[in-house]
Every structure is written in C-alpha cells, then in structure tokens.
Structure 1
Amino acid sequence: MGVARVIPADRSRSSGGGRWDRPPAWALVAMALCLAGLIALGPSVLRSGTVRAAGAAESTATATPAAPHRPTEVLVERPADRPLRVLFIGDSLMWGSFASDPSLTYRALVTAGLSTEGPVDAVLVGGPGESAAEATEGLTEVTGPFDLVFVEVGANDSVALTPARFSSDYAALLDGVRALAPDAALVCDGVWNGPDLATPLDRELRPVCAARGGVVVPLSPLYVDETLRGPEGSPVPGGGVRDQFHPNDAGHAAIAEAMLAVLGL
C-alpha cells in the first residue's frame, strides 16, 4: 500500500510516482552561494544588532535623571527706597496664640527671616477666631502698598462652613488682597486642621489662590504631627494653658520654616 506524501506547492511535480524533479545544476549552485552569504553575514548582522541594542540600553541607563520636585518659590521684589512691606492676614495661628513668647510666633519668625535681607515693615490683619469673611472686612483698616502678603485662614471656617461657601468667602478675601496690593507676592497657607476637615477646604483654596498669582503652602501635614501641638494642659508662660489644637513653639517654628522655604530663605 502506498504512503501518501505532502508535497509543498512550490515544488515541481513529476508526471508520476509522486516524486519531484531534481532542480537543475545552476539552481543548486545559486542556493549554495546564498547559503554561504548568509553564513558569512549572519554573525556580523547579529553582532551589529546586539551592539545597537546594548547602546540603547546603555543610553537609557545613563540618561540624566529627572530633577527632583522642588517647592515653587515666591519671587519678592524689594523696593530700593523703603522697607519691604509685608501684610499678614490670619486667625489665632497668625496672631501667635500659645507661643511661649511673641518672638517665637511663626509670624515673628517669618519677619525675622525676611529681615536678614533688609528692613521689613510688617502689618497684621485678624486675630483669634477670624474667618475668611471677617478677614475681608479687616482689609478696610489697612492701606498699601504691600510687597508680600501671607494669608492664613480656614481653621475656623473648616468647622463652620461648607467647602463651597468657604470657596466663595476665600475668593472675596483674595480679591480684596489684590485690590489692596495688586502686584504683591502672595502666599496662601493651607488649613491648619486634620486631613478630614482641611482637605476639602484646601481643595477649594488652591485654584482660587493660583488664579490670583499665589502659591499655596499646605499646613495639614504639619498639623498631623502631634509633637507640634500642645501638649494639652501644659502652662503657657505669661498665663493660660495649651490645648491640643494650636501649634506650640515647635509648631510655630515648623510653619515659619515652610513659609520661608517658598521665599528661598
């Protein structure tokens, strides 16, 4: 019984017996030459491809790494004919509640840092319990010009207002700042509170501040460090006791450091 054979379509069939004809001599010579050429070129092609691949890998490995993220710096223009005028707007944190000494409040520490570059004239708007809306009213009590403005509100709003209402009040406050100091450098402090209360308000104030040319410095990451607050019940020099909400001396120093960092100081 015969054995069936699968014959490739490109092979020449004979008229019988299922056998295919042997190619002519010239075809065999051509095939041999092609095979010899592949044997000679193959290693060099492979080596060339390997070098290119290694080069590409080496290029990737030695590429310059991306620059690390750095906080945005606020550019402050110092006038040549007068002291730098700085406006601080805020609540009890800006006021300096529970610091051991007025010189240890973060407002005083920021002022001292700025003073290393030249004379500073600092003005404060606000005080304990201040909200964004109340701070807006307080702007009517001061006059410019101002070269640098710090805005720190939201701790009191975070327990009293919806994020949408805070956004509206905060926008009105910064519009008032820009009417008073259109060209001043602007630093917006985030809300001093835990993430649950601070994050929704921080989400609102960021675009409002950015739209008015300001830079936001978040404070919630500092608030969650309990060593920067209280301890509750500990005495404050001069009278009173600390709570577990407001920054202590270390907290004021940490806030001041964050403020000065965006100023390049």
Structure 2
Amino acid sequence: MMSSKAWSTRHKRSRAETSLYVLGAAVLAVIGVAGYLLTESAATTPPDLASLPASTASAAPIPTQVSVPGPLAIVRDGTPLRVLFAGDSLTGNYFASSAEAGFRSRVATALGPVELTTAELADQTLTTVSRIVEVPADLDLAVVELGTNDVGTQTPFDQFTSQYRDLLGKITTTSPGAALICAGTWQDAGEAYDAVIEAECLAAGGRYVPLVDIFEADGTRGPVGTATPFGESDTFHPNDSGHQQIADAILAALTVS
C-alpha cells in the first residue's frame, strides 16, 4: 500500500507533467498558426513586376516628365518667312469650312508674308508622309503634324520613333536655323505616340504642342454631314473652332520679331 507521502509526491509530479504537456501543446499550436499565416502571406503577396518576363511588359514608351521651354524666336529679315508644313488631313485643312479657316492657313496668315512649302497626305501615316517631305534650305519655321493615323494603324513604337527622329533630323540638317514645332496626335488614345513626339521634338531643339485637350473640348469637332471644300464633315476632324484653337496653340509656341 502506498504511503500518503508517496501518493502526494506522485500526484504533484502528475500535475506538473500535465501542465508541461498542456504548455507544450499550446506552444506547438502557436507555432503552427504562425507557420500557416506566413505561408498564406507568401502565397498572396503580389509578384515582383520587375521579375516578370519581358513579354508581359507593354511595348509602349513610358512618358517622361520634361521641363517646358519657352517660345521659339523667329526674327524677320525683311523677306517672307520660309515655312514648311508636314502632316496629314489636319494639315490639309480638313474639315474646315474653307481653306482659309484651316489651322495651316491661319498660322501662315498670322505670320505673313510667308513662302509656304507643304507636304500633306490625308489618311496616311508617318511612314508615307515622311517619304514625300522635301525640306527647303534656310527655313524659318517647320511645323510637323503627324502620328494621328499611326495610332489607328498601330505603327510599332520603335519604327515610329526611328522615322520621326529621321524626319526631324532631315529638317534640322537641311535648315539648321529653323524653328521647329511638333504637334501631338489628334486623338484621345495617342498618349504613347505623343510621348515619342514630345521627346524627339525636344531633343531636336523644338517645341511640342499637344492637341488632345483641343480634341476633347466641346465644340471643336463636327457636326457630321456639313459640306466643305474637302467633302462632308465628320465627328473626328476639327471644325473651324478646332482649327482656330490648333493655330492658336502653335502660334503661342512662337515669338516673331
């Protein structure tokens, strides 16, 4: 028969062992929960975008913040200013109510007298128009309005960049003293192409004139079906108000003395 002292000692040992078992189980439970949470966190953490394959990245250039330089100065020498316009249907004054109401004509009239050279093709991309541009020597001003049709045809950005750079290089090489204005795309989906136009124009010493705000403004396009010298108007091309605002934006980037 077990003595009372021995029973008491064994009972105390049993309770201590039970306490240790319970404590151990609790510690193991905490460790298990922590491990589960860490596993779940690792499983739901968004992937590092930098580690994604190159094929998942957009091919569009990333717009960069650039300082906005002041207007370009043009100095008259007593002779008509020599001006080049290269562009698409907008440069061709589509769909103004008259040729005189188009932005090209408005800019030329405001700068007059001018000796005007134009190279424009409606519905054509930079690739096509750049091939027909003949740059006169000793230009005072070159206005390039291209890229709108490239948005629709999705010209590859590397191709567009190279060709735009080459066109500006042709202008600055043939007429190194010319003031250079580069109009953005007449689109609300041309941001990536506008980024190329802006960067290349500033690198060539020119001034970038965005058109998207004019495109999106009320009353600068349409109405559809109005008769013009260029055919019936649509809801895409600028009307007289749109052409006037484009001309104003270009002229605001210049000072003439």
TM-score, normalised by the number of residues in structure 2: 0.69
CA contact (8 A) 1:132 1:173 kept: no
Change (3 A) 1:237 1:135: closer
Q: CA deviation at 1:167?
A: 1.3
Unaligned runs of 5+ in 1: 1-68
Which has the higher relative contact order, 1 or 2, with Cα contacts under 8 A spaced 6 or more apart? 2
1:83–1:228 distance in 2 versus 1, CA, 3 Å:
same
Q: Partners of 1:201 and 1:212 in 2: how far apart?
A: 17
Aligned to 1:207: 199
Q: 2: CA distance between counterparts of 1:206 and 1:177?
A: 16
1:148 is aligned to 2:141: yes
Alpha-carbon shift at residue 70 of structure 1 (Å): 8.2
Match of 2:125 in 1: 131
Counterparts of 1:1-265 in structure 2, within 5 Å, are: 72-80=70-78, 82-115=79-112, 119-140=113-134, 142-160=135-153, 161-194=155-188, 197-233=189-225, 235-238=226-229, 240-264=231-255
Query: Structure 2: how far apart are the matches of 1:224 and 1:218?
Result: 12
Report Cα offsets for 1:82-119 as digits up to 9, x if no partner: 2110111110000101111111010010011112xxx2
Letter in 1 for 2:148: A
Once the two structures are TM-superposed, the CA of residue 172 in structure 1 deviates from its matched residue by 1.4
Residues 220-261 of structure 1 show CA distances to partners (whole Å, capped at 9, x for unaligned) of: 11111141011123x224473211110001100110111111
**Alpha-carbon distance between aligned partners in 2 of 1:71 and 1:222, rounded to the nearest angstrom:** 21
* Amino acid across the alignment from 1:216: Y
Report SS of the residue matched to 1:125: strand
Cα distance between partner residues in 2 of 1:135 and 1:264: 28
Please give the root-mean-square deviation of Cα atoms over the aligned residues, in Å: 1.9
Distance, in Å, in 2 between the alignment partners of 1:77 and 1:157 is 34
CA displacement 1:165-218 (0-9 Å, x = unmatched): 221221111112122211101001011101xx2111111111111111100000
